[in-house]
């Protein structure tokens, strides 16, 4: 079981709005000892959304989907999820009550007709694929929904992020910090990546389950004097015992190749 996120919306792909969900979901998972395995961006194209969801429903991953669960013409996610599952959309009774409560709350004591066309249309935000459960929305009551291990939340961060936290802490608490994990890295100067690649291959062969990463940079003075020269952020990640041993072997290998190793400042170092 891995974790994935689908970020939906033409406004993200056009640049009208900058995506904030990807770094946040990485942060939310990391704070619980979990990691994001993949991410996809999709515009407001019903066929593409449906095809994507059909594929991810067929897998075993935990998937968060942001955006497109409102009731305007450019919101398609609820309908696409139902089509991908081959089920109908149904008004969820608890969602309906929450939406009506929100309508009354917005009226601020003024008389209101819950059966007016406008308020009946609002109930569309509570129509979910048959069998779905709701995700509470602490911001304005309008819920998201879950189907199996897929969790659908609004595109607005102020709503989506607490809802994702609720899902992680309610449905997947048993996975929190269940797998020990560490990342360790150093900055390497004076070696091209091609010289380091055989060492990386050897480390992964000698330490099964450990992954080696290499992030080359031509230099970035904006990050501080230490980063001005071309360098490689070189490290390992995996089970602490294996990763720590692999890290020492990696350092020894870089030294043998004649590279210069510099520890990254604490604020920049990769955290476990």
Cα angle 122-126-129, degrees, rounded to a multiple of 5: 140
**Structure-block tokens of residue 94:** 């608890």
Q: Specify whether 152 is located in the same domain as 195.
A: no
Q: Is 240 inside any structural domain?
A: yes
pLDDT for 266: 56
Task: Measure the CA–CA gap between 147 and 203, rounded to whole angstroms.
Answer: 41
pTM: 0.82
- Name the nearest CA neighbour of 114 among 129, 126, 99: 99
Q: In this predicted model, what pLDDT tens digit does every residue of 152-201 receive, in sequence order? A: 999 999 999 999 999 999 999 999 988 888 899 999 999 999 999 999 99
pLDDT for 184: 93
Q: Specify whether 112 is located in the same domain as 206.
A: no
Q: Is 79 inside any structural domain?
A: yes
**Structure-block tokens of residue 56:** 């991810």
Q: Are 16 and 28 in contact (CB under 8 A)?
A: no
Q: Specify whether 17 is located in the same domain as 83.
A: yes
pLDDT for 198: 96
Q: Specify whether 188 is located in the same domain as 93.
A: no
List the chain residues with pLDDT less than 70: 265-272
Task: Count the domains in the chain.
Answer: 2
Q: Is 270 inside any structural domain?
A: no
Structural domain boundaries, residue 49: 3-175
Buried b (16+ CB within 10 A) or exposed e, 177-206: eeeebbbbbbbbeebeeeebeebbeebbee
Q: Specify whether 24 is located in the same domain as 115.
A: yes
Q: Is 76 inside any structural domain?
A: yes
Q: What are phi and psi of 5, to 5 degrees?
A: -135, 135
Q: Is 271 inside any structural domain?
A: no
> What CATH number corresponds to the domain at position 218?
3.30.70
Q: Specify whether 78 is located in the same domain as 101.
A: yes
Cα angle 140-144-147, degrees, rounded to a multiple of 5: 165
Q: Specify whether 140 is located in the same domain as 15.
A: yes
Q: Is 268 inside any structural domain?
A: no
> What CATH number corresponds to the domain at position 117?
3.40.980.10
Q: State which of 150, 175, 200 marks the end of a domain.
A: 175
pLDDT for 226: 82
């Amino acid at each position: 079981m891995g974790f994935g996120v689908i970020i939906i919306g033409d406004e993200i792909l056009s640049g009208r709005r900058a995506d904030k969900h990807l770094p946040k979901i990485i942060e939310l998972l990391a704070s619980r000892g979990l990691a994001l395995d993949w991410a996809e961006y999709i515009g407001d194209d019903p066929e593409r959304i449906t095809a994507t969801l059909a594929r991810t429903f067929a897998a075993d991953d935990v998937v968060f989907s942001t955006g497109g669960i409102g009731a305007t013409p450019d919101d398609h996610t609820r309908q696409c999820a139902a089509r991908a599952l081959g089920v109908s959309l149904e008004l969820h009774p608890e969602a309906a009550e929450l939406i009506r409560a929100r309508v009354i709350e917005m009226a601020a004591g003024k008389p209101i007709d819950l059966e007016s066309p406008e308020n009946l249309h609002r109930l569309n935000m509570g129509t979910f694929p048959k069998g779905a459960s709701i995700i509470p929305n602490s911001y304005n009551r309008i819920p998201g929904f879950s189907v199996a291990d897929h969790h659908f939340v609004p595109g607005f961060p102020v709503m989506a992020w607490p809802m994702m936290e609720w899902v992680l802490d309610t449905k997947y608490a048993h996975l929190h910090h269940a797998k020990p994990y560490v990342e360790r890295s150093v900055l390497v100067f004076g070696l091209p990546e091609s010289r380091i690649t055989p060492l990386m291959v050897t480390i992964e062969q000698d330490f099964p389950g450990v992954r080696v990463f290499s992030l080359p940079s031509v230099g970035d003075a904006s990050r501080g004097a230490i980063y001005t020269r071309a360098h490689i952020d070189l490290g390992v990640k995996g089970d602490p015992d294996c990763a720590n041993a692999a890290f020492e072997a990696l350092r020894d290998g870089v030294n043998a190749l004649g590279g210069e190793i510099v520890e990254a400042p604490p604020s920049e170092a990769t955290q476990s």
